[in-house]
Amino acid sequence: MYMDNTIPIFIPSKGRHENGLTWKALDGMGISRYRVIVEPQEYDLYRKVLPEEKLLVLDMNYKRQYNTCDNVPYDENPRVGSGAARNFGWDTAKKEGAPWHWIIDDNIRRFLLYNNNKKNIAKFDIFACIERFVDNYVNVDMAGMQYAMFVPKKLKINPIIINTRIFSCNLIKTDSPFRWRGRYNEDVILSMDMLEAGYCTMLFQTYLCEKIRTGTIKGGNTDELYRAGTEAKSRLLKSVYPGKVKLVMRYGRHHHQVNFSQYKNRLIRK
């Protein structure tokens, strides 16, 4: 098994110290190279459930200076989402000299290996498998795992999708010339920023993450942003990419729709 413990894993978290889904899943896989990014006022709460070396305290200037893409000043609305903490993790990876880094949501129940029409709970470092694969290409700046809910059984699928959005479980090339931005939908914005610039993304469907549905678990963006529904986040994405995003209704909620097949960026091997 290929292992590279120099690739850090960052988990931005807020209001979920009693939950710990993602880091408990990583512990179950024998993965110890993660750190949880917390805000200063919650440090003592997280310290009750995690050792000091597993915690990074967010520099709050990252929230004040974050580009929310809606021109609303921080003083008027300090709820900027998780993008600021993700940028903090990115800069930490730069300081530590890590060539890649992971940014993972804190509400992922488990990670799965999909093979022969079976979803098996991963018991080894599948993150290292993805790291090894993407490092074969010079123009892949982000990769990640597909949501388990989007891979139904008895459906023939491709093991990897090239040039699409990466949600919630993002492996990012640290020297990539981009930043997280957007109060909402920062995953989609970053994916589209990279694709529009000609870079490739890779979404793995052999490795899956089982994320808790948005709005169903206390804390995080559920409390920060989504109490009034999902319409605002879809409209913000459309304002960033008006010609590429449509507003639709799905499952009784507002959603965005992006045709990622329009991106034909070609992989370049090392």
- Is the confidence at residue 231, as pLDDT, over 90? no
The mean pLDDT of 119-131, rounded to a whole number, is: 94
Q: Are 14 and 39 in contact (CB under 8 A)?
A: yes
Q: Which of 187, 201, 184, 191 is nearest to 236 (CA)?
A: 184
Q: Is residue 267 part of a domain?
A: no
Q: Are 68 and 42 in contact (CB under 8 A)?
A: no
Q: Is residue 161 part of a domain?
A: yes
248 against 190, higher pLDDT: 190
- Is the confidence at residue 8, as pLDDT, over 60? yes
- Is the confidence at residue 197, as pLDDT, over 80? yes
Q: Is residue 65 part of a domain?
A: yes
* Residues across the chain: 270
For the full predicted model, state whether its pTM sits above 0.85. yes
Q: Is residue 249 part of a domain?
A: yes
Q: Is residue 4 part of a domain?
A: no
pLDDT for 1 equals: 46
Q: Is residue 181 part of a domain?
A: yes
Q: Which of 26, 13, 45, 173 is nearest to 100 (CA)?
A: 173
| Total domain count, the chain | 1
Domain that holds residue 80: 9-262
Q: Using CA atoms, how far apart are residues 70 and 246, in angstroms rounded to an integer?
A: 18
CATH number of the domain residue 122 falls in: 3.90.550.10
Q: Is residue 28 part of a domain?
A: yes
Is the dihedral angle over the CA atoms 70, 74, 78, 84 positive or is it negative? Answer: positive
Whole-number mean pLDDT of the chain? Answer: 91
Q: Is residue 269 part of a domain?
A: no
Model confidence pLDDT, tens digit, residues 47-75: 999 999 999 999 999 999 999 999 899 99
Q: Are 38 and 55 in contact (CB under 8 A)?
A: yes
